[in-house]
């Protein structure tokens, strides 16, 4: 990769252009607004809103200085200051807000009281005595100014753009504005700061979505009213740290993130609290979550986490290469092998397809998902619709189903895929396969949407703007599925009660539609909620969200390929070892299946 993810996301954390002459600021706003209506005639993103605020501030300065008889507009100036400071994640006091009004203190103080009474400004106590407050724009003010900023952009295009753009701006008023206006507002501060000695302590996975949380830590600290201390680990280290934390007398973390397949293990080992013991689960709006992601957080009918990321593993393909070769996107495993063969050109430095082949956890996940492509779950789950039922798993009466005829089809399919894969495939895991795709070294890749920023946010990538997204191609007549992955966030079972109550409030913030939208606008490509995926601004960032919604409605998003039983991590490891020996030529497909089956049976019969 030519750019790191952090450097890419820095480009999306745009600061307002302070100090520019009004003419140049106006030109920038006009240029921003004078692009095709299908792309920018919509409510502004946070970065664009900051640009519009800077433009309005410069215009106001010019207007007020144009005549000695012009008086400052204190309410307008305080509103502008409040929204800008909120978007920048900076603390705002009554004194600083009044100072921004550009009028005498007494006049500014009266106008501020008027704004509080009108519900435009919220106050939050900063001290235990409640005598000092921080000031924050209310949800009402944020909604009003977001809408107003969009109107400013349209007006700039209408009056200062060329004829084509003026017509497009007029079309907006009478055409597409209705759906575009249905957007999620910026994240709003809590009415009272969280009371957590030492601040909020969070354990997460080191992926792009959680790294956006780290990038915007100051803004989230402003929202919850306390410091945030975040630790990020790789997937295996994250699980080990969460299990070790559960052995402590008191949890070292207030919130922990977990991979969805760990739910059963973490519930059985009392790593997490059942959420219904500490919060109103219905208040999370369960119907807003993608069904597969929401169900995957449950064990024994109880929720143990809130989906923070719902990220299906899809087949990514280079739409430009397929079009040039006259090849249709593959819907079956046979079609995929044909396409991989056509695209495979090692002499040109290009390979057919990339996938997880590294020994252990990485390949183990691939094996379970390839079995699912042939309609074979790794456990004997009862059928349900186009998938399989998992509600009965807590009864623990399941057995492994690896050494089967469909399991053999999956094993032989992997052997065939190896013929068209890069030479380093047997050491390749999640990031390596995505990097290979982003660099243009492969024409296709199995990959989670979680890592799509590697090419979607890098204009220098050959895959940028040239990627199609499909559910896994299927074999043996099985339905197409998109195996759901991602992370949930939960409350440790050994967290003291006084901290747990506050942690629940933060959990609601971190998994709210407003927070999810912020993650996406700054690089994330995961969305656990329907409302977020349907947001007009979110849809603009990537085609992934429209694709995900369509897959969800077709019931293709499924989590049964990695059933969340307590033994699943061990089963994944077993498959990742035995199938790795097969791919290296040390065992035949049938021998690998037989050995994996025997080891999985022993694990289920004699759990830890």
For the chain, the structural domain boundaries read 14-180, 200-310+486-533, 312-483+558-605
| Closest to 264 in 3D by CA, of 392, 402, 400, 399 | 392
DSSP designation for 582: H
**Which position has the higher pLDDT, 253 or 78?**
253
Is it the case that residue 25 has pLDDT exceeding 80? no
DSSP designation for 586: S
The two structure tokens encoding residue 490 = 């939960």
pLDDT of residue 608: 65
Query: How many CA atoms does the CB half-sphere of 240 hold within 13 Å?
Result: 5
Q: Residue 215's CB: how many other CB atoms inside 10 A? A: 18
Question: Region 519-534: what's the mean pLDDT?
Answer: 92
| Closest to 198 in 3D by CA, of 245, 114, 254 | 254
C-alpha 161/C-alpha 375 separation (Å) is 55
**Which position has the higher pLDDT, 210 or 134?**
210
Is it the case that residue 180 has pLDDT exceeding 60? no
Query: Mean pLDDT lowest for which of 199-203, 406-410, 496-500, 532-536?
Result: 532-536
Q: 200-310+486-533 and 312-483+558-605 share one CATH topology?
A: yes
pLDDT of residue 50: 73
Cα 346 to Cα 222, 438, 463: the distances in Å are 52, 17, 18
Cα 156 to Cα 139, 162, 312: the distances in Å are 26, 11, 40
Torsion-angle region of 465 (φ positive above 0: left; ψ -120 to 50: alpha; else: beta): left
Question: Region 563-570: what's the mean pLDDT?
Answer: 96
pLDDT of residue 152: 75
DSSP designation for 254: S
Q: What is the CATH number of domain 312-483+558-605?
A: 3.40.190.10
| DSSP assignments along 88-145, one per residue | TT----HHHHHHTT-S-HHHHHHHHHHHHHTTSEEEEE-STTS--EEEEE-HHHHHHH
- The pTM assigned to this predicted structure is 0.74
Instruction: Give the whole-number percent of the chain exceeding pLDDT 90.
Output: 63
Instruction: Give the whole-number percent of the chain exceeding pLDDT 70.
Output: 86
| Closest to 355 in 3D by CA, of 424, 410, 408 | 424
Q: What superfamily would CATH give domain 200-310+486-533?
A: Periplasmic binding protein-like II (3.40.190.10)
C-alpha 537/C-alpha 44 separation (Å) is 8
Query: Mean pLDDT lowest for which of 103-112, 181-190, 527-536?
Result: 181-190
Looking at 196-288, list the stretches that DSSP marks H as alpha helix, in order from N- to C-terminal side: 208-215, 217-224, 235-246, 263-268
pLDDT of residue 606: 83
pLDDT of residue 28: 36
| Closest to 120 in 3D by CA, of 134, 135, 138 | 138
Highest mean predicted confidence (pLDDT) among 109-113, 123-127, 162-166, 446-450: 446-450
Query: Mean pLDDT lowest for which of 137-146, 439-448, 459-468?
Result: 137-146
**Which position has the higher pLDDT, 56 or 255?**
255
Query: Mean pLDDT lowest for which of 469-478, 551-560, 596-605?
Result: 551-560
**Which position has the higher pLDDT, 303 or 154?**
303
Spatial contact of 529 and 538, defined as CB atoms under 8 Å apart: no
pLDDT of residue 35: 36
Is it the case that residue 494 has pLDDT exceeding 80? yes
Q: What confidence category does residue 101 fall into, taking pLDDT thresholds of 50, 70 and 90?
A: confident
Is it the case that residue 76 has pLDDT exceeding 70? yes
Is it the case that residue 581 has pLDDT exceeding 80? yes
C-alpha 488/C-alpha 256 separation (Å) is 8
Q: Which residues contact 501 (CB under 8 A, 6 or more apart)?
A: 278
b or e along 131-159 (b: 16 or more beta carbons within 10 Å of the residue's beta carbon)? eebbbbbbbebbbbbbeebbebbbebbbe
C-alpha 177/C-alpha 546 separation (Å) is 19
Q: Residue 22's CB: how many other CB atoms inside 10 A? A: 15
pLDDT of residue 130: 67
The CATH T-level fold of domain 14-180 is Arc Repressor Mutant, subunit A (1.10.10)
pLDDT of residue 142: 82
C-alpha 379/C-alpha 82 separation (Å) is 55
C-alpha 516/C-alpha 3 separation (Å) is 24
């Amino acid at each position: 990769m030519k750019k790191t993810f952090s450097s890419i996301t820095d480009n999306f954390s745009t600061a307002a252009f302070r100090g520019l002459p009004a003419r140049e600021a106006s030109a920038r706003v006009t240029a921003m607004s004078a692009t095709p209506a299908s792309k920018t005639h919509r409510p502004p993103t946070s970065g664009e809103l900051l640009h519009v605020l800077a433009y309005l501030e410069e215009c106001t300065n010019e207007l007020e200085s144009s005549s000695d008889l012009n008086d400052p507009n204190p309410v307008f100036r305080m509103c502008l200051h409040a929204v800008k400071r909120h978007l920048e994640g900076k603390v705002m006091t009554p004194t600083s807000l009044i100072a921004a009004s550009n009028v005498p203190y007494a006049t500014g103080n009266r106008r501020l009281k008027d704004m509080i009474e009108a519900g435009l400004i919220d106050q939050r106590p900063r001290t235990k005595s409640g005598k000092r407050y921080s000031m924050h724009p209310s949800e009402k003010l944020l909604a009003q100014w977001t809408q107003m900023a969009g109107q400013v952009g349209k007006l700039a295009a209408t009056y200062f753009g060329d004829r084509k753009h003026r017509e497009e701006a007029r079309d907006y008023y009478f055409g597409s504005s209705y759906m575009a206006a249905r957007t999620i507002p910026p994240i709003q501060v809590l009415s009272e700061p969280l009371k957590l000695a030492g601040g909020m302590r969070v354990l997460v996975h080191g992926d792009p979505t959680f790294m956006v949380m780290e990038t915007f830590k100051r803004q989230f600290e402003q929202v919850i009213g306390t410091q945030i201390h975040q630790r990020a680990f790789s997937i295996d280290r994250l699980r080990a740290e969460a299990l070790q934390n559960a052995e402590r007398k008191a949890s070292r973390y207030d919130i922990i993130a977990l991979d969805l397949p760990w739910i059963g293990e973490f519930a059985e080992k009392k790593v997490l609290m059942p959420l219904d013991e500490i919060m109103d689960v219905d208040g999370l709006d369960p119907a807003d979550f993608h069904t597969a992601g929401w169900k995957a957080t449950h064990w024994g009918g109880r929720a143990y986490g809130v989906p923070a990321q719902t990220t299906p593993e899809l087949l990514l393909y280079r739409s430009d290469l397929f079009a040039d070769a006259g090849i249709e996107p593959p819907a079956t495993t046979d079609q995929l092998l044909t396409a991989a063969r056509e695209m495979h050109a090692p002499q040109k430095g290009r390979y057919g397809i990339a996938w997880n082949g590294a020994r252990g956890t990485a390949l183990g996940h691939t094996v379970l998902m390839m079995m699912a492509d042939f309609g074979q779950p790794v456990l004997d789950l009862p059928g349900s619709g186009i998938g399989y039922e998992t509600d009965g798993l807590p009864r623990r009466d399941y057995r492994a189903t690896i050494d089967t005829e469909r399991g053999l089809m999956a094993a032989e399919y992997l052997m065939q895929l190896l013929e068209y894969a890069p030479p380093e495939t047997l050491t390749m895991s999640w990031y390596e396969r995505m990097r290979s795709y982003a660099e243009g070294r492969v024409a296709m890749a199995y990959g989670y949407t979680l890592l799509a920023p590697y090419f979607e946010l890098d204009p220098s990538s050959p895959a940028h703007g040239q990627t199609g997204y499909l559910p896994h191609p299927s074999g043996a007549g099985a339905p197409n599925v998109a195996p759901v992955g991602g992370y949930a966030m939960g409350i440790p079972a050994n967290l003291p009660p006084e901290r747990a109550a506050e942690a629940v409030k933060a959990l609601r913030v971190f998994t709210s539609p407003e927070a999810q939208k912020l993650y996406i606008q700054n690089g994330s490509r995961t969305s656990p909620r329907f409302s977020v995926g349907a947001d007009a601004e979110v849809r603009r960032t990537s085609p992934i969200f429209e694709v995900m919604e369509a897959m969800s409605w077709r019931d293709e998003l499924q989590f049964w390929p990695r059933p969340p039983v307590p033994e699943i991590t061990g089963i994944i490891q077993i498959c990742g070892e035995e199938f790795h020996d097969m791919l290296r030529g040390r065992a035949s497909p049938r021998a690998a299946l037989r050995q994996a089956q025997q080891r999985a049976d022993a694990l289920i019969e004699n759990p830890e």
